[in-house]
Amino acid sequence: MASDPLSPEETRRYARHLVLKGMGGAGQQALKRARVLVVGAGGLGSPAIAYLAGAGVGTLGIVDHDAVSLSNLQRQVIHSEIGANKAESAGRFAHALNPHVQVAVHAERLGATNVAAIIASYDLVLDGTDNLATRRIVAGACEGRGLPLVSGAVSMFDGQVTVFAPCGPRFGALYPQEADDADLPSCEATGILGPLTGVIGSLMAMEAIKLITGIGEPLIGRVLTYDGKGGRFSEFGF
């Protein structure tokens, strides 16, 4: 698929990508053609949105119905205006960081009735939501359209990231139907260390860029886990 050539300003902006072996002009053009949707502009969505916008993703969609609260600011570092819709706030941040990125704001609650319409314009989805009900809806919609899905999760001092793709195991292989939100600790109840969301959200952006450019080996069928207290990464297959 053809795309507009990089402008002189874009060439300077992405200079470190353009000289990077394995990325180069072809990789940057792939990023410019990409249409990526980030579901949730909170703790995980914040770093993912920042790095995808900075990297030059052509179209960046952001969906979130929630409003920014004071307790969010400890980890949701792209926001500053209390009471603002998170998708709109994140969109303003992304545009200010990189005006070459087309930002599409979906300031609405994603659910079974609108998920198909929302994801229809995208070719890759990142899910940083904090409940299994929404995660299942997103995963099912991505499976139905054959879209890859980058999924991250965090709790207290620990986090994980994986990729669901048409060629790999489905969401249900990792999260069986009997799993329930009531069995999982909530951020409000147990707390969360702010930088942990930065680690996992950045890894989500990394996986998205790998999928877009074809660089490296995405985490398909593998879960990368991070123990923040121990400072250790580990991995398991599913």
- Name the residues annotated as catalytic: 187
- Region 20-32: mean pLDDT is 97
Closest CA to 142 of 125, 163, 162, 127: 125
The answer to whether residue 219 sits within a structural domain is yes
**pLDDT per residue over 168-199, tens digit each?**
999 999 988 877 766 666 677 789 999 999 99
Residue 8 in any domain: the answer is: no
Domain assignment of residue 7, yes or no: no
By the 8 A CB rule, do 158 and 227 touch? yes
What is the pLDDT, as a whole number, of residue 231? 97
Q: Is the pLDDT of residue 2 over 60?
A: no
pLDDT confidence of residue 189: 77
Residue 1 has pLDDT above 60, yes or no: no
Residue 177 is predicted with a pLDDT of: 82
* Domain total of the chain: 1
Does residue 10 lie in a domain region?
no
Task: Give tens-digit pLDDT for 46-103.
Answer: 999 999 999 999 999 999 999 999 999 999 999 999 999 999 999 999 999 999 999 9
Bridging pattern class, strands 149-155 and 158-164: antiparallel
For residue 84, the domain's CATH number is 3.40.50.720
Q: Provide the residue range defining the domain that includes 193.
A: 16-237
How would you list the strands of the sheet with 102-106, edge to edge? 102-106, 59-63, 35-39, 124-127, 149-155, 158-164, 222-227, 232-237
Crossing angle of helices 45-55 and 86-97, in 10° steps, is 30
- Look at residue 163 and tell me if it is in a domain: yes
- Give the pLDDT band of residue 135 (cuts 50, 70, 90): very high
Average pLDDT value for the chain = 95
